[in-house]
Amino acid sequence: MTDTLAVTDGRVLTPAFDVIRADVLIDADAGEILEVGPDLAGDADETLDATDSLVMPGLVNAHGHATMTLLRGYADDKNLEDWLQEDIWPAEAELTAEDVAVGTRLAAVELIRSGTTAFADMYFHVGEVVDAVREAGLRARVGHGVVTVGKDDEAARDDFAESIAVAEEYDGAAAGRVRTAVMPHAPHTVGTEYFEEFVPKAREAGVPLHFHLNETETYIDEIDAEAGVRPTEYADDLGLLAEDTWVAHGVHTDASEIETLAERGTSVAHCPASNMKLASGMAPIQDMLDAGVTVALGTDGAASNNDLDLFDEIRDAAMLGKLAADDAAAVDAETAVRMATEGGADALGFDSGRIEAGANADLAVVDLEAAHLTPEHDLVSHLAYAARGSDVRHTVCDGKVLMRDRDVLAFDGDAVRERAQEHAETLVARAED
Ligand SMILES: [Zn+2]
């Protein structure tokens, strides 16, 4: 006997971006959508009411560092280099495994509350991240971030080797909801010799790669000074680019670099809010889309955002994309919503991001009974330009209800917040000691 879940009486955003009145019938055991159509509630074991609501694919946050929720509001209003060196890295040097456990749970509550069902995480103490993902019921692609600058040879090699070992250890955890990647931080923070030694090993292990690319002009200049080429060419020469690779940012990416990304099938996780806040620059997103690059959206860490509400990124991506292209028609509403759903799922290699039979049952139900979502000329426009994470009523991942009527089921949200406050205070006290 299969357990079924029916999402009833709502309107459904289809893969073609039509909005239809339909129920969604889900195989809760397999975590798959069985059927989308009228009157499917029938004998479903469980129902989720979507009256006056829009059923959309769960959002996919394709780049971030979940534990950085503990540093939300700790340091703002600085450029990336100063912010990292003066505030973030000293604090991260003091992080414990328990901090990661607590910070990732805080992130999970926020993600579920705002309709995100899958996320990417580049951090440390990955075992703790995996436990939090398992408990939350979310889907994630996780990895250990490698930095070799400032380390001796042995420590640098150990760090890269750990990223591969961790990726092999946890791939398929949490009933398959956890997938992994090898995550060298960026071309300028990992030495060439370590890329040369370990990228072939990562490829042998058969796991994807994820790294930051072209986030600021300063970082591009560093690669140019060292190797005499643009970072995308440098990364390509090292074998870093492939179809299962996705990069974060791609802010200052020129036409030849975009062509290389398109040729290699490498996806880009665009992080518009973080790029604006750190004044990193405007990524040429419409040019990437025109070249056939898959573009996803990410919040990046909460300390440079400062929240994990991906509805903000949808709106920011549309608006910043227009500004970057000097064209109000660039990165339109549908395009921005697609980046946050199917674009993210494609970048992370999940069969999610579309509400159709056979796809993962990952979805968000948006309450349309709100002044800021009235009138209903165009619901896709509302998702892009007017909706907020707090409009999400229900969140479903892998066929299981993670939030019902704004009540997160896996965690006691108040207890998670209380622990996060304690851990954040002691963490910055250690960093400032
Ligand atoms: Zn990042």
Q: What is the DSSP letter of 360?
A: B
CA within 13 Å, CB half, 209: 30
Q: Give the pLDDT confidence score for residue 1 in this predicted structure.
A: 58
Query: Cα of 53 to ligand 1 centre, how many Å?
Result: 33
Task: Match 């019938």 to its residue by tokens.
Answer: 25
Distance, in Å, from the CA atom of 55 to the CA atom of 47, rounded to the nearest integer, reads 14
Instruction: Report, as ranges of residue numbers, the positions in the chain whose pLDDT lies below 70.
Output: 1
For 62, phi then psi, to 5°, come to -90, 0
The pLDDT value given to residue 252: 96
Distance 274 CA to ligand 1 centre (A): 9
What pTM value is reported for the model? 0.98
| Ligand 1 centroid to residue 64 C-alpha, Å | 5
Q: Which residues of 113-142 are buried (b: 16+ CB within 10 A; e: fewer)?
A: bbbbbbbbbbbbbbbbbbbbbbebbbbbbb
- Cα 390 to ligand 1 centre (Å): 24
In whole angstroms, give the CA distance from residue 137 to residue 398. Answer: 8
The string over 225-255, giving b where at least 16 C-beta atoms fall within 10 Å of a residue's C-beta and e elsewhere, is eeeeebbbbbbbebebbeebbbbbbbbbbee
Q: Are 410 and 137 in contact (CB under 8 A)?
A: yes
How far does Cα 166 stand from its chain's mean position?
19
Would you state the pLDDT for residue 433?
86
Instruction: Write out pLDDT tens, residues 254-287.
Output: 999 999 999 999 999 999 999 999 999 999 999 9
Cα of 248 from ligand 1 centre, angstroms: 7
Give me ligand 1 centre to Cα 215, in Å.
Answer: 9
Write down the pLDDT at residue 179. 98
Q: What are the residue ranges of helices labelled H in 17-96?
A: 80-83, 89-92
CB 10 within 8 A of CB 51: yes
Task: Give the distance (Å) from ligand 1 centre to CA of residue 47.
Answer: 38
- HSE-up of residue 230 (Cα within 13 Å, Cβ side): 17
Interval 105-125: pLDDT, tens: 999 999 999 999 999 999 999
CA of 148 to the centre of ligand 1 (A): 16
What is the 433 CA–ligand 1 centroid distance (Å)? 26
Helix or strand holding residue 379 (H, E): helix 379-385
The alpha carbon of 188 and the centre of ligand 1 are apart by a number of angstroms equal to 14
Q: Report CA(357)–ligand 1 centroid distance (Å).
A: 34
Q: Find residue 59's DSSP bridge partners.
A: 116
Cα 65 to middle of ligand 1, angstroms = 6
CA 167–ligand 1 middle distance (angstroms): 18
Task: Tell me which residues have their CB within 5 A of the ion that is ligand 1.
Answer: 300
For residue 306, say if its preceding peptide bond is cis, omega within 30 degrees of 0.
yes
Between the CA of 396 and the centroid of ligand 1 the distance, in Å, is 26
Query: Which CA distances in Å does 181 have to 99, 163, 199, 207?
Result: 22, 8, 12, 5
Position 243: which residue type?
E
Phi, psi for 269 (deg, rounded to 5):
-95, 105
Ligand 1 center to 27 CA (angstroms): 35
Closest C-alpha among 152, 50, 320, 104 to residue 36:
50
235 CA to middle of ligand 1, Å? Answer: 17
Instruction: Identify the pLDDT of residue 403.
Output: 98
Instruction: Give pLDDT, residue 422.
Output: 98
pLDDT at position 295 is 98
Separation between Cα atoms, residue 327 and residue 321, nearest integer Å: 8
DSSP 132: H
Predicted pLDDT at 232 = 98
If you measure from the C-alpha of residue 270 to the centroid of ligand 1, how many angstroms do you get, rounded to a whole number?
A: 10
Type of residue numbered 177: R
